[in-house]
Structure 1
Amino acid sequence: MNRKDGGVLQGRVVAVTGASKGIGLGVVQKLTAEGATVIGGARDVSGVVCEGATFLPLDVTDAASVDAFAEQARRAGVDALVNNAGVGVFKPVQDITEADYRRVMDTNVLGTLLMTRALLPHFQALGRGQVVNVTSDVSARTFATGALYTASKYAQRAVTQALASEGHAYGLRVTEIRPGMVDTFFGDTQQGEEYKAEWLKPDDVAGAVLYALSAPAHVRIDEVLLHPVVQDVAF
């Protein structure tokens, strides 16, 4: 995808986690196409290329890895963070293991906390900044076998809303993106499988992220909830 000079994000520098594939890579491509410089992080970034983006190794569950990534982002002049890294485990409550719990909660919740914490002092010094958390439509509902995953998304929603309240004093704008079913590699499935043909695409979610980041400085987009039309209506 060619980078668009003079796009709506020209001059912006955005850090994106979980950036190697799926929604994260879609976000990187969308933002660079609109002129942003992107620092993308993921556990494995080998072979990932996008004009206007630099990809760095990042394990959001490891504080040292987060700090190293954040330092590079600060040096690049980062003014926005997209917390996108996430995993899911779907089991009945009685089958959830400690390992399941730590994998999901450490990535989805601790990862959001560590990455955000690492950049907040920088945003405070700037007197502005944006944090966009890609969660899920299940950050406010649940379903059978979804206890662990939805608990992590409820927690991310709480973190998002608390951060919005805390950051208001120094000009931080915070947005939660809540997509429904998305055609990605999530849950050990393959992107592009036939049964996902009418689901949201990574580019759809990336468009919501772009909407939040490109809002005028006097506008804060608190949340964006989006679904494919084939998904049952559920709020």
Structure 2
Amino acid sequence: MTMRDRALRGRVIAVTGASKGIGWAVTQALTAQGARVIAGARDVGGLQLDGAEFWRLDVTDEASVDAFARAAVRAGVDALVNNAGVGSFQPVEEITPAEYRRVMDTNVLGTLLVTRGLIPHFRERYARGEGSQVVNVTSDVSARTFAGGALYTASKYAQRAVTQALAYEGRAYGLRVTEIRPGMVDTFFAGSVQGAAHKAGWLRPDDVADAVLYALTAPLHARIDEVLLHPVEQDVVF
């Protein structure tokens, strides 16, 4: 058994956006190493995985988030991976209020609602001498932008701000907070096709899952503030 196995075995971790892509890879990686996963996604029909409990979750809906949070708390959750997100790319002049709300509500409000739902539980853990973690999967564009990326990158900048503010606040109740910032990843993101030929050199979901597990298994005296990772073929950006 590796040190990582020992660090994850018996832990309970909530994961959003868990039905495919990065979220599914994170869920698989965690359960493979002995963690119990409370996995949420909009569509969980037919999903089965030993060690995972699947819940229908709309991160933009307070009632749905509350039900998910209650399930996670009942299970004894000690960490949250906010992974749910959507993409949208168009010039500023084409951004509609409806599209703005769809992207910002999912990427930013969703992160806020799910995290907020677990903070009271994390405070109770701290009172018992136990720590907790939040890992937010954002993007390398949480600190840069590009033509056609105004809406999406604005949502990721906002997620980064939420992550950093939470890190400051969480010190009062033993919460360690990490931002995972992947570059191009071969998933179904923004309606694309996973495994398309032009994505051959991109990161795989498993690469991002490894970064998430790295943050979750850091020793108790260490906080991984952020992990920035890119495929070699992507231009060097910081």
TM-score band w.r.t. shorter chain: over 0.9
Percent of residue pairs identical: 75
The offset of 1:23, in angstroms, is: 0.3
**How far apart, CA to CA, are the structure 1 residues paired with 2:5 and 2:174?**
25
**How far apart, CA to CA, are the structure 1 residues paired with 2:194 and 2:95?**
26
2:185 matched to which residue of 1?
182
Instruction: Tell me, yes or no, if the aligned pair for 1:8 and 1:35 is still in contact at 8 Å.
Output: no
Instruction: Tell me, yes or no, if the aligned pair for 1:131 and 1:174 is still in contact at 8 Å.
Output: yes
- SS at the partner of 1:216? coil
> Which 5+ residue runs of structure 2 have no aligned equivalent?
none
Instruction: Tell me, yes or no, if the aligned pair for 1:80 and 1:129 is still in contact at 8 Å.
Output: yes
Structure 1 residues 90 and 216, CA, compared in 2 at 3 Å: closer, same or farther? Answer: same
Indicate yes or no: 2:145 matched with 1:146: no
Alignment of 1:7-156 (within 5 A): 7-127=6-126, 128-156=131-159
Q: Could you tell me which of 211, 214, 217 is aligned with 2:217?
A: 214
- SS at the partner of 1:181? coil
Report the residue type matching 2:236 in the other structure.
Answer: V
**How far apart, CA to CA, are the structure 2 residues paired with 1:125 and 1:105?**
30
1:163 matched to which residue of 2?
166
Corresponding pairs, count: 231
Instruction: Tell me, yes or no, if the aligned pair for 1:109 and 1:152 is still in contact at 8 Å.
Output: yes
The offset of 1:19, in angstroms, is: 0.2
Instruction: Tell me, yes or no, if the aligned pair for 1:92 and 1:146 is still in contact at 8 Å.
Output: yes
**How far apart, CA to CA, are the structure 2 residues paired with 1:34 and 1:131?**
19
- SS at the partner of 1:8? helix
Deviations along 1:144-176, one digit per CA (max 9) or x if unpaired, are 000000000000000000000000121100000
The offset of 1:6, in angstroms, is: 5.3
List 4+ stretches of structure 1 deviating above 4 A. none
The offset of 1:139, in angstroms, is: 0.1
Instruction: Tell me, yes or no, if the aligned pair for 1:7 and 1:33 is still in contact at 8 Å.
Output: no
**How far apart, CA to CA, are the structure 2 residues paired with 1:119 and 1:68?**
11
The offset of 1:8, in angstroms, is: 3.1
**How far apart, CA to CA, are the structure 1 residues paired with 2:145 and 2:95?**
16
2:195 matched to which residue of 1?
192
**How far apart, CA to CA, are the structure 2 residues paired with 1:216 and 1:46?**
36
Report the residue type matching 1:37 in the other structure.
Answer: R
Computed over aligned residues only, the root mean square deviation of the Cα atoms, in angstroms, reads 1.0
1:226 matched to which residue of 2?
229
**How far apart, CA to CA, are the structure 1 residues paired with 2:235 and 2:124?**
44
**How far apart, CA to CA, are the structure 2 residues paired with 1:57 and 1:169?**
32
Indicate yes or no: 2:208 matched with 1:205: yes
Relative to the length of structure 2, the TM-score reads 0.96
Deviations along 1:54-89, one digit per CA (max 9) or x if unpaired, are 111000000000000000000000000000000011
Relative to the length of structure 1, the TM-score reads 0.97
